[in-house]
Structure 1
Amino acid sequence: MNKTTLILDLDGVLITNPIWKPDEIDSDGYSKFNSDCVENLNTLLAMASFEMWLSSTRRTVKSLDDFNRIFKHRNIKQEINGFLPKYPELNSRKEEIVQFLDQFKISDFLIIDDDKSLNGLELLIKEKLVLTEFMKGFNRDKLEEAKTTLASK
């Protein structure tokens, strides 16, 4: 079975704190995730076979092992396979995702992110984007959008 590459952000997807407030910290010492968003992510992960790649800028301050422990502590049912590579010459999430998809020849993917620069993606990529809102995250409406996106590929 082919796996769908899930490109996942954290802030505005699973972490929905207002930007004017410091992150609420979980018992493992890392930022709390919105439990409804985690539940929605787990629902999505149960629907298909995914390879999960973290695109969050937070990927630059923790190791993959650290993030997998964080995800496990928050009861996310799947490990992260890797981080989007750091491309120092690129200036936006949009450019990073395009480079990643091109470099690794990925055609079966889903992007969940709140970065508005992704509105500028070319249509063939943008149609596989679920663009969340910062303080709402991966809510029920966005889960339904992700289901529809998966069903149409």
Structure 2
Amino acid sequence: MLILLDIDGVMVPNNNWKRPEFENDGFPRFSTRATNSLQRIISETGAGILLTTSHKSNYPISKWRNIFSSRGLGNVNIQKLNTNTLKLNRKEELLRWWNNRNEDHFVIIDDDKTLNSLPPQIKAKLVQPSATVGLNEELADTAIEILRS
């Protein structure tokens, strides 16, 4: 099982009026609500994370593990989409992953509105937080249902 995870607008709500707080590692702090919700999804399903965020290529997996661990999400299997050398948009990246996937039990957690035009069989696996709120308990419930179906 995989959680295809965006960061901005999901783990780090986008509040235009307020600059995000940063941790000592130089990466923005995750919201407590989003962290607790993601931890619940992982705990209840055993899902790993596939980073789809635009930040995915900024760090090696070892650094991503440290980022997640220091925010209370330790012992998580983390992978990332390949570097976007073709400059694809998120929808195109996900479609490319879909065509080459080896995992059928997944959920996409992303605030990107262009994902609403994904093909129906993929869009059915989309959980879309409000960018200003991020991941919450209600959306975690939906993600868990998707992963279990």
Q: Which residue is 2:103 aligned to? A: 106
Please state how far the C-alpha of 1:62 moved relative to its aligned partner.
1.7
Identity %: 28
- Rounded Cα–Cα distance in structure 2 between residues aligned with 1:27 and 1:96: 31
1:42–1:77 Cα contact (<8 Å) kept: no
Deviations 1:87-115 (A, max 9, x none): 43353111101111211333221111111
Q: TM-score, normalised by structure 1?
A: 0.88
Instruction: Look up the SS of the partner of 1:47 in the other structure.
Output: helix
Q: Unaligned regions of 5+ residues in structure 1, if any?
A: none
- Rounded Cα–Cα distance in structure 2 between residues aligned with 1:45 and 1:140: 13
Q: Which residue is 2:93 aligned to? A: 96
Q: Which residue is 1:46 aligned to? A: 43
- Rounded Cα–Cα distance in structure 2 between residues aligned with 1:124 and 1:36: 29
Q: Which residue is 1:133 aligned to? A: 130
Q: Which residue is 1:14 aligned to? A: 11
Q: Unaligned regions of 5+ residues in structure 2, if any?
A: none
Deviations 1:59-85 (A, max 9, x none): 122221111101000011443431111
| Alignment size in residue pairs | 149
- Rounded Cα–Cα distance in structure 2 between residues aligned with 1:43 and 1:5: 14
Structure 2 CA distance for partners of 1:62 and 1:111, relative to 1, 3 Å: same
2:11–2:134 Cα contact (<8 Å) kept: yes
- Rounded Cα–Cα distance in structure 2 between residues aligned with 1:108 and 1:150: 6
Please state how far the C-alpha of 1:30 moved relative to its aligned partner.
1.9
Please state how far the C-alpha of 1:145 moved relative to its aligned partner.
1.7
User: CA RMSD for the aligned pairs?
Assistant: 1.7
Instruction: Look up the SS of the partner of 2:27 in the other structure.
Output: coil
Q: Which residue is 2:20 aligned to? A: 23
Instruction: Look up the SS of the partner of 1:42 in the other structure.
Output: helix
Letter of the 1:114 partner, please give it: D
Letter of the 2:33 partner, please give it: D
Which of 71, 76, 80 in structure 1 is aligned with 2:73? 76
Which of 29, 36, 45 in structure 2 is aligned with 1:32? 29
